[in-house]
């Protein structure tokens, strides 16, 4: 019994992931630049800067994987990669929340771009779930 699937790609989800990939690039560059600026201007407690750099690297890595899986799953109408993308949204959102609330020095600019990132996460999560539901509904069996 072979499985036949329709094309169920979500346009909105794809647009969001596409924009998010560019936004992630900007977020990465700006956050690194801001980190350097902060490291020069203000003094960090012991190991705080290294910890934050580590968390940020992990966040970026998770984000790249999440967006890649999301796009791949969406375009191929496969629910498994999208499911993993949804799962990765959780650590990614936690990482952004860390920079929004718990990092040592929080700038007003960071409030803005972390909030935008969280907005992307929320919207993508919603559309990803919709996508999974759609794929599950439209599965056809021979």
Partner 1 sequence: MKFCVMDYIQEKIQTEELLNLSVTTQKQILNDLLKNISSKPHALYYRTLTSKSLKKVSPSKLYNNSTMPDVSIGTTDGSTTVFDVLYDENTSDIEVATSTTEMYYTSTEFDNITEITFFETKNNSSSVPSHKPKFSHNMPCECNLLYKVCDINCCCDEDCSDTHYKLFQCQEPSKGDRKSVDGCVTHLLDEQKYGGSMLDDLFCIVKTNLPSKRNIKKASYLLNLKRYDEAPGVYYKWESSFKKHHLYEFKKALYKRGDPIWILKNGIIYYLDFPASMMNSYCTDRVPITFLKEEKMTCNVKLTDLEMFNILKTSEEAMVISATNNTINSTTLNCTTLHCINWTILMCENGFCKNYNKTQNEASCTEEVCTNIALKVEYEFYYYDFKIMNATIKLHVQNISNALPLMMQEVRVHFYMANKSIEHVIELSGNLGYINGLPVIASYAGNNYTEHFFNNTSEIRSLILPENRNGLCVRTNTSNNFAKFGVNKRTKCRYTYSPKNKTKQKLCNNIQADIYKLLRLNNNISISPFGNPQDITDDKWLHLELDKHNLEPVYGDYNENTLKLYCYNLINRLSITFMYAKVDENSHTEQNKIVSAKYEATMDNLTFSSEDISFVITIDINFVDLSKPSDIEYAGGPHINIHLPKDFFFPFPQNSCIPLVNTCFVTICCYVMLFFANKITLG
Query: Is residue 141 classed as helix, strand or coil in its secondary structure?
Result: strand
| Beta carbon nearer to partner 1, 6 or 87 | 6
Binding mask 61-100 for partner 1 (x = CB under 8 A): --------------x-------------------------
Q: How far apart are CA 35 and CA 48, in angstroms?
A: 12
Cβ-contact 117, 98 below 8 angstroms? no
Stretch that binds partner 1, among 64-72, 76-84, 105-113, 120-128 (CB under 8 A): 105-113
Stretch that binds partner 1, among 23-31, 86-94, 101-109, 118-126 (CB under 8 A): 101-109
| Beta carbon nearer to partner 1, 46 or 142 | 46
Cβ-contact 19, 120 below 8 angstroms? yes
Choice from 23, 68, 84, 105 touching partner 1 (CB under 8 A)? 105
- Contact between 14 and partner 1 by CB under 8 A: the answer reads yes
Cβ-contact 116, 23 below 8 angstroms? yes
- Contact between 122 and partner 1 by CB under 8 A: the answer reads no
Sequence-separated (6 or more) residues with CB below 8 Å from residue 65: 88
Burial of 83 (0-12, 13-18, 19+ CB in 10 A): middle
Half-sphere exposure of 17 (CA within 13 A, CB side): 27
Choice from 2, 3, 42, 137 touching partner 1 (CB under 8 A)? 42
- Contact between 57 and partner 1 by CB under 8 A: the answer reads no
Q: Which residues bind partner 1 (CB under 8 A)?
A: 9, 11, 14-15, 18, 37-38, 41-42, 45, 75, 102-109, 111-112
């Amino acid at each position: 019994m072979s499985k036949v699937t329709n094309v169920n790609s979500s346009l909105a989800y794809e647009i969001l992931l596409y924009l998010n990939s560019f936004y992630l690039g900007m977020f990465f560059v700006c956050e690194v630049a801001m980190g350097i600026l902060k490291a020069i201007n203000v003094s960090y407690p012991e190991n705080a800067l290294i910890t934050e750099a580590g968390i940020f690297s992990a966040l970026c890595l998770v984000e790249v994987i999440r967006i890649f899986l999301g796009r791949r799953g969406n375009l191929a109408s496969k629910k498994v990669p999208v499911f993993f993308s949804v799962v990765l949204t959780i650590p990614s959102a936690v990482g952004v929340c860390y920079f929004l609330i718990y990092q040592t020095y929080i700038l007003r600019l960071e409030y803005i771009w972390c909030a935008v990132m969280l907005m992307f996460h929320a919207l993508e999560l919603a559309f990803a779930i919709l996508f999974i539901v759609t794929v599950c509904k439209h599965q056809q069996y021979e």
